[in-house]
Amino acid sequence: MEGSLFKVVFLLLVFSIVNTLVYGQGTRVGFYSSTCSQAESIVKSTVASHVNSDSSLAPGLLRMHFHDCFVQGCDASVLVAGSGTEKTAFPNLGLRGFEVIEDAKTKLEAACPGVVSCADIVALAARDSVVLSGGLSWQVPTGRRDGRVSQASDVNNLPAPGDSVDEQKQKFATKGLNTQDLVTLVGGHTIGTTACQFFSNRLRNFTTNGAADPSIDPSFLSQLQTLCPQNSGATNRIALDTGSQNKFDNSYYANLRNGRGILQSDQALWNDASTKTFVQRYLGLRGLLGLTFNVEFGNSMVKMSNIGVKTGVDGEIRKICSAFN
């Protein structure tokens, strides 16, 4: 009897350890409550100062967290400057907000030297950016440590603008995120813009007979073709959520329903049955059990922010976010 009990306890312990390794637990809400009680308020005020001066930094900071977590885990490896680092990889060349993170880090080092990680600053800044854009807040577990590796060659599994739903689902699944998480987190496109070069292939010669992507609303297509002229305008910026690019809301999903998704990977969420259901639930359509986007976004962000985190003695607490110690 005692032997059986020991085996059960042992197996539960093993499961707990494996679960920690896989899902990146070890972070907790209020991690800095005794070591740097003002940590979250310093980040919040710093982000607010920058975003109030330039609202486009909000989606930039949210996207930075996403790109950080999908490569080497949420360890601030995307912040490291230098030749051949993640920051120099093509998918990261458009990232913005690095100065906001460095500003917060400088203030935190003055208040609590060597305590708050850059990885936690990125996670907190993403949450604060959503709130400043009109979204709901959520509690961010902290306690991440900063990684010691940053290589452009590792940036090979980020979701891409032309990905099919199956490709997106596979990339999210490898990070422990399910289909609902996918539809929810991509909903972060409710704020921000993208360049014409990332979707202009949909506007002309998309089909074998030279037509545009048939999933685009015809009246919207002509607008996009004007905003993204053929053979020019590749860097022109277009709102990812037409009519609501600065407000964190569920109108992004209404645009997908109406054939007004900008990226091919976004519109695909409406065209594929496995993801369309979640889009419909966020819109409260067809009598389906509704989902509240703002609430679910926070839940999925917590899951994402725990991907491959380094805690305890793993990693380091950088003194400057753009350089290893």
Binding-site residue ranges for heme b: 189
| Residue type at position 180 | Q
Are 142 and 309 in contact by the 8 Å Cβ rule? The answer is no
Whole-angstrom CA distances from 25 to 141, 218, 251 are: 9, 47, 33
Residue 238 phi, psi dihedral angles, 5° rounding: -125, 135
Place of tokens 């496995």: 274
Among candidates 175, 165, 170, which has minimal Cα distance to 279? 165
- Cα 299-302-305 angle, rounded to 5 deg: 150
Q: How many residues does the chain have?
A: 325
Question: Which helix (H) or strand (E) element contains residue 237?
Answer: strand 237-239
Give the catalytic positions in this structure: 67
Q: Residue 313 corresponds to which tokens in the numbers above?
A: 């003695």
3-state secondary structure 63-81: HHHHHHHCCCCCCCHHHCC
Are 141 and 36 in contact by the 8 Å Cβ rule? The answer is no
The HSE-up count of residue 282 (CA atoms within 13 Å, CB side) is: 28
Q: How far apart are CA 228 and CA 87, in angstroms?
A: 27
Are 122 and 65 in contact by the 8 Å Cβ rule? The answer is yes
Binding-site residue ranges for substrate: 159
Binding-site residue ranges for Ca(2+): 68, 71, 73, 75, 77, 86, 190, 241, 249
Binding-site residue ranges: 68, 71, 73, 75, 77, 86, 159, 189-190, 241, 249
Question: Which helix (H) or strand (E) element contains residue 193?
Answer: strand 193-195
With 0-12 / 13-18 / 19 or more C-beta atoms within 10 angstroms meaning exposed / middle / buried, residue 15 is exposed
Q: How far apart are CA 152 and CA 175, in angstroms?
A: 19
- Residue 237: beta bridge partners? 195
Are 189 and 252 in contact by the 8 Å Cβ rule? The answer is yes
